[in-house]
Amino acid sequence: MRRDRAFLEDVPFAQEDYGSIVQTDYPGAHDEAYRKRVQSLIDHSEEAWPEIPEYEYTDEEHGVWSFVSEVLTPLQDRYSCEAFLEGRDALDLPDDHVPQLDKVSAKMEDETGFMLAPVGGLLDQSEFLPRLSQRVMRCTPYVRHSENPFFTPEPDIVHELRGHAPMFMHEPFAELSVQIGESAKKAVEAGDEDLLELIGLFYWYTVEYGLIREDGNIKIFGAGNNGGIQDLLRSVDPTIEKKPFDMEKIKELTIDYDAPQQVFYVAESYEQITEIASELGKMA
């Protein structure tokens, strides 16, 4: 069943500026025509807010989507965690064209009540994370630059739909997201920036880039590595460092949004992730 989106009417499309891309070698950061195209999809989204508009994608954009989809699917079959694969198969996204956000949102809403809501770029954690408590996932509508379909330092629709959306078909993950969202909301309301940062780090090293042990094997849990060719390959490359997930170590880290992950953290189990999320909730 579709959810009513009216409760988002009072929420600004974006309160703060989006994170900027500073990585110098990403072609999408410097191609003016590309930046204009990205901006036009953002403007289109903002005009329709909080509804999801129909987007018209170019052949080039469909081509990037198809290329990434074809390369990713067999890699995911081999390396992704069970919850992701179940969600991916249930979501059943097309390989040959960029799907409409609204259609994907409809399937998620049916399954767990999570809805997609367009956004223009990387949001500040204080805006992005609390929204999860309302089962809302902000989601970019534009496609990465065609010169580098393997990696993008800014979130794009491939990352959102090939990486994040499948997990929202899985109720325990939806509940985990709500829990993270509620803790973040309390941290924002209390003005507790340290706690918000801690929740953001936890989110980054689990939901975005986490690995998880499943039946003795290390599988991919995070949307960044499930939904990106370079990140997926890096996260299963034995020459790239993997460490056991440890909140004491994670809290010392920072997030570099522009560069590929240099180290990956492996959660022992789904329970370990939910337990830490619940501990963070108690701190809020």
Q: Applying CB under 5 A, which residues contact Fe ion?
A: 223
Minimum CB separation of residue 190 from Fe ion in Å reads 25
Which DSSP symbol is given to 95? S
SS3 labels along 243-264:
EECCHHHHCCCCCCCCCCCCEE
Are 83 and 170 contacting, i.e. CB atoms less than 8 angstroms apart? Answer: yes
Please report which helix (H) or strand (E) contains residue 241, including its range. strand 241-244
Backbone Cα Rg of the chain: 18
* CA 141 – CA 224 distance, rounded (Å): 16
- For residue 216, the minimal CB distance to Fe ion (Å) is 28
Cβ proximity to Fe ion, 61 vs 208, nearer residue: 208
**Shortest approach of Fe ion to residue 207 CB, angstroms?**
8
Residue 99 or 224: the one with the smaller Cβ distance to Fe ion is: 224
Q: Are 181 and 134 in contact (CB under 8 A)?
A: yes
Give CA–CA dist 274/277, Å, rounded. 5
Nearer to Fe ion, 187 or 223 (CB): 223
Q: Which is nearer to Fe ion, 136 or 223 (CB)?
A: 223
Among 202, 227, 277, 205, residue whose Cα is nearest residue 80: 227
Contact 250, 273 (CB under 8 A): no
Tell me the closest approach of the beta carbon of residue 259 to Fe ion, in angstroms: 15
E strand or H helix at 214, and its extent? strand 211-214
Least distance between Fe ion and beta carbon 201 (Å): 14
Q: Which residues pair with 212 in a beta bridge?
A: 219, 267
Shortest approach of Fe ion to residue 123 CB, angstroms?
10
Shortest spacing between CB 211 and Fe ion, in angstroms: 16
Output 192 or 233, the one with its CB closest to Fe ion: 233
Instruction: Give the residue with the Cβ less far from Fe ion, 75 or 192.
Output: 75
Q: What are the helix (H) ranges across 112-164?
A: 125-131, 157-158
Kindly tell me which of 23 and 47 has the beta carbon lying closer to Fe ion.
23
CA 93 from centroid of its chain's CA atoms: 16
